[in-house]
Amino acid sequence: MTEARPRLRRTVGDSLEDFERDLISNLYYQRGTTIESASGPDGYHTLAVTVRDRLVDRYARTAAAHYAANPRFVYYLSAEYLLGRQLRQNLLYTDTERWVRPIAEDLGVSLEALEVYDVEPGLGNGGLGRLAACLLDSMATLDIPAVGYGIRYEFGIFKQTFRDGQQVERPDDWTFYGNPWEFPAPDDRQLVGFYGTTKADPKDPTGLKKHWVPGETVRGEPSHMLVPGYGTQTVNIIRLWQARASRESFDLARFGVGQYVEAVDDIVKAENISKVLYPDDSTELGRELRLKQQYFLVACSLRDIIRRYRLRNSGWEGFADKVVIQLNDTHPVVAVTELMRLLVDEHGVGWDEAWSITRRTFNYTCHTLLPEALETWPVRLLERLLPRHMEIIYAINHFFLEEVRAAYPGDEDVVRRMSVIQEGDERRVRMAHLAVVGSTAVNGVAELHTKLLAETTLHDFATLWPERFHNVTNGVTPRRFLRMANPRLSTLITESLGDEGWLTDLERLHGLGTAADDPAFRAAWRDVKRQNKVELAAAVERSTGVLIDPDALADVMIKRFHEYKRQQLKLLHVITMVNRIRADPQATYVPRTVLFGGKAAPGYHAMKLLIQLVNAVADVVNTDPVIARHLRVVFPPDYNVTKAQFVIPAADLSEQISLAGKEASGTGNMKLALNGALTIGTLDGANIEIRDRVGADNFFLFGMDAPAAAALRRSGYSPRSFYEADFELRLAVDTIASGAFAKGDRSVFAPVVDAMLGRDEYMALADYRAYVDCQDTVAEAWTDTERWTRMSVLNTARCGFFSSDRTVREYCAQIWKVDPVRVSP
Ligand code: NBG
């Protein structure tokens, strides 16, 4: 659609009357109902479509402008997107909320009542997927011609519920009632092959060109959602692929003889490819279906990219000048081989030229340092599922290793380390190596992460090709995470700065720096935070039944459950507070609410048990009248983008306590600091850059840094020695071991204790004392309300750097080399 030259026809008007008329018309003609008999979902869908149509107009003009300019496009390939709810965003971006409120009021409904039907598309797991969504938002806002490609999972990230404190996963059938934000584009469907055999091309003397005859094909059907820019006319799209069986797949003959299940066998098999998001973003899952998903995304997207390229261009020499593809982590990396296959086998481009085009087209963002999260695929699986791609990988590796041998004559050790193929009992393909070999630029997502990548995980590559390595520190969109999530604070900021310019130029928040010294402004700031906390308290009570005090320090740890993020360390602190209150109930304590939010991968048993322990501790804390006077622990289930938007504006303290050297960047840390929460954190990921900017005085730092952690590990870390040396730590661990959180049953949480005292992989016990002492400093600081507020204001004022607009500008300048295309109104 982007490329067809659209005839400009403005179909929507610009006034409240137009809007109201369209609303009524959509209710009649799209939902087939009337105002008198419309249900809540009718109202929501009608409103959604009416708002959406305002964007369609802009999208048509964007497509026309892009067609005319024939610019270089950014194609963002990502297996995950966490877009968040669309309704509020699109009301804001079309500036129509001011109409909707009075119209809704007239009709006796509230926007809030309609919004409950706005389902968040949970097409991602956590930070990686949300980053993709923030980058798309910023690209559109900066008028960058871009398309996001992803998978339209029928089931998104599971819904988390608790039964007896244990995580129970429920399917997320997010499109069950229809998704008003998406446009199917069946004409752009693609065919994707799997399995089969390859044949040599007799006319090709090099032997590098082959013909692949797949053993199975599946259709990929796209639909797109609109991605509007804020304060601009640009509307980009995100194109999501869904697997569909071919029309012949239904076996009528079998159905006729009662074989109902067998009759739909092929349909089920094909459609399973986009059935469900893999609920695990940190460990490699050796699952054929997952590899199928990855190739499905890549095959559909690359053909679509080529189709779009050819609408305005011909020949292949110019391909990389018009197309830049960003690989979001290793999930789409098989694209490197797919583009080679398309160019060499299908379009007859010579290998060397094809390789030059491919390398100039791709760039790769790495999002991890955990070795277990670096994907590798068994050679045997690839040979079976994607036989031609495996041959291409061998060829790429062959030429690459020649280059390595030329650079390091006689050093077979470096060849072994760098090879795309990992030798061993089971030979595997290292997707990160393939990504680096096939890309122009490789980037980490925070300064420390990029540095550690170059020193450890990708050291050999950074030595051979230093020019390929870049850092682009993550960012978050201030539209969703400040303006939409925190309207009160946004209003205060706008009043203080004079206008809303900060929404697209976040460094202007610096202007709040002087206001931090104004007692009246600080009082207003506190008032906003308190109102946000009152609202959060109501929501928490609804979802957990637990009452929290809006005047207590809101201490939040919201993120996926993972050992390296160290929720267990936070829990040890909570238990320490419990033990202190028990030991001395009369002493004064700073009242705290500790809020946990996050899911554990369904197969990650250790973390599921930790979730159970958090809930068990919460039960004990909240029901003990003595403890509950000072401390509450709440864990609202099913943390997602929507809930993040609720919690973040109400937070006072942001827990960023991963073991240094493990969290690539973090983005929740940025969202919280931007909303005036103070961070308690280690020198890890982007925490370092946050602290550099907000100032050491306005950040609670504790614990080992990355070199200290590495040194401790080398010296032979013994968690038990820390346990034995620290009375409070021992007591906290022993409290768990005693069965105090399992009605006296010592066995339930024994594995948690064993993990702490046995290996303690992420050295929580080593950082315990520093952490608890630092928490005491936090509590002390909290009692000085004026000082705390000042620190809070300064956090917001100095976090302008963490806008994803800045991130996208850096990608544009360093990596993509793309220019904006303005779309006129
Ligand atoms: C995550 C990192 C985070 C980082 C996000 C976005 C994966 C594999 N990585 O630290 O753990 O903020 O990516 O870059 O999800």
Count of C-beta atoms within a 10 Å radius of residue 585: 13
Q: What is the pTM of this model?
A: 0.97
pLDDT, residue 283, reads: 67
- The ligand 1 atom nearest the CA atom of 445: 14
Residue whose pair of structure tokens reads 């706008």 in the numeric block: 494
pLDDT, residue 7, reads: 53
474 lines ligand 1 (CB under 6 A): yes
Query: Residue 150 C-alpha to ligand 1 middle, in angstroms?
Result: 17
State how far the Cα of 460 lies from the Cα of 455, in Å rounded to an integer: 8
State how far the Cα of 262 lies from the Cα of 256, in Å rounded to an integer: 11
Examine the residue annotation and report whether 416 is marked as an active-site residue of this protein.
no
> From edge to edge, which strands make up the β-sheet containing 631-634?
631-634, 592-597, 553-558, 653-656, 678-681, 700-701
pLDDT, residue 279, reads: 76
663 lines ligand 1 (CB under 6 A): yes
Angle, CA 533 vertex, CA 531 and CA 539 arms, to 5°: 110
For helices 764-783 and 785-797, give the axis angle rounded to 10 degrees: 110
Among candidate residues 72, 81, 59, the one with its CA nearest the CA of residue 8:
59
Paired residues of 470 in beta bridges: 443
367 lines ligand 1 (CB under 6 A): yes
656 lines ligand 1 (CB under 6 A): no
220 lines ligand 1 (CB under 6 A): no
The helix (run of H) or strand (run of E) holding residue 236 is: strand 235-244
Burial grade of 465 (CB within 10 A; 0-12, 13-18, 19 or more): middle
Q: Beta strand pairing status for 441-444 and 190-194? A: unpaired
685 lines ligand 1 (CB under 6 A): yes
Query: Residue 572 C-alpha to ligand 1 middle, in angstroms?
Result: 25
Query: Residue 167 C-alpha to ligand 1 middle, in angstroms?
Result: 23
Cα separations in angstroms, 359 against 339, 362, 587? 10, 6, 65
Catalytic residue selected from 88, 322, 479, 559: 559
Paired residues of 168 in beta bridges: 161
Among candidate residues 451, 238, 433, 423, the one with its CA nearest the CA of residue 330:
433
Cα separations in angstroms, 598 against 80, 617, 677? 17, 16, 19
- The ligand 1 atom nearest the CA atom of 373: 8
Task: Tell me the torsion sign for CA atoms 19, 22, 23, 24.
Answer: positive
Cα separations in angstroms, 378 against 281, 383, 401, 427? 19, 9, 20, 6
Query: Residue 281 C-alpha to ligand 1 middle, in angstroms?
Result: 9
Name which residue sits closest to atom 9 of ligand 1, judged by CA. Answer: 367
Secondary structure (3-state) at 36? coil
Catalytic residue selected from 72, 367, 480, 693: 367
566 close to 764: Cβ distance less than 8 angstroms: yes
Report, in angstroms and rounded to the nearest whole number, the Rg of the chain calculated over CA atoms. 27
645 close to 775: Cβ distance less than 8 angstroms: no
Examine the residue annotation and report whether 560 is marked as an active-site residue of this protein.
yes
- The ligand 1 atom nearest the CA atom of 126: 15
Query: Residue 667 C-alpha to ligand 1 middle, in angstroms?
Result: 8
Residue whose pair of structure tokens reads 């044949």 in the numeric block: 199
Catalytic residue selected from 565, 632, 691, 790: 565
pLDDT, residue 266, reads: 87
Among candidate residues 59, 56, 77, 70, the one with its CA nearest the CA of residue 308:
70
What sections of 504-563 are H helices per DSSP? 512-515, 519-544
Taking the chain (825 residues) in runs of 10, the rounded mean pLDDT of each run is 52 83 94 92 96 94 97 98 98 94 89 95 97 98 98 97 98 93 96 97 92 96 98 98 89 91 90 90 77 97 98 96 98 98 97 98 96 90 97 98 98 98 96 98 98 96 98 98 98 98 98 97 98 98 96 98 98 98 98 98 96 98 97 98 98 98 98 98 98 98 98 98 98 98 98 98 98 98 98 98 98 98 95
The helix (run of H) or strand (run of E) holding residue 168 is: strand 166-170
665 lines ligand 1 (CB under 6 A): yes
Secondary structure (3-state) at 155? strand
pLDDT, residue 281, reads: 62
Examine the residue annotation and report whether 211 is marked as an active-site residue of this protein.
no
State how far the Cα of 686 lies from the Cα of 475, in Å rounded to an integer: 10
Name which residue sits closest to atom 15 of ligand 1, judged by CA. Answer: 128
The conformation of residue 216, written as its DSSP 8-state character, comes to E
Q: What is the largest CA-CA distance in the chain?
A: 89
State how far the Cα of 703 lies from the Cα of 573, in Å rounded to an integer: 14
Name which residue sits closest to atom 6 of ligand 1, judged by CA. Answer: 128
Query: Residue 632 C-alpha to ligand 1 middle, in angstroms?
Result: 30
DSSP readout, 374-390? S-EEEHHHHHHH-HHHH
440 lines ligand 1 (CB under 6 A): no
Tell which phi-psi region holds residue 566, choosing left (phi > 0), alpha (psi between -120 and 50) or beta: left
Domains in the chain with CATH codes: 70-85+120-473+809-816 (3.40.50.2000), 486-802 (3.40.50.2000)
Among candidate residues 293, 279, 121, 311, the one with its CA nearest the CA of residue 220:
293
- The ligand 1 atom nearest the CA atom of 667: 12
State how far the Cα of 517 lies from the Cα of 507, in Å rounded to an integer: 19
170-173: long-range contacts at Cβ-Cβ below 8 A with a sequence spacing of 24 or more? Answer: 171/276, 172/122
Query: Residue 474 C-alpha to ligand 1 middle, in angstroms?
Result: 9
Query: Residue 619 C-alpha to ligand 1 middle, in angstroms?
Result: 31
pLDDT, residue 2, reads: 47
531 close to 491: Cβ distance less than 8 angstroms: no
- Residue of 157, 364, 445, 682 to test ligand 1 pocket, by largest number of atoms within 8 Å of CB: 445
State how far the Cα of 532 lies from the Cα of 595, in Å rounded to an integer: 15
58 close to 228: Cβ distance less than 8 angstroms: yes
Task: Tell me the torsion sign for CA atoms 509, 669, 476, 666.
Answer: positive
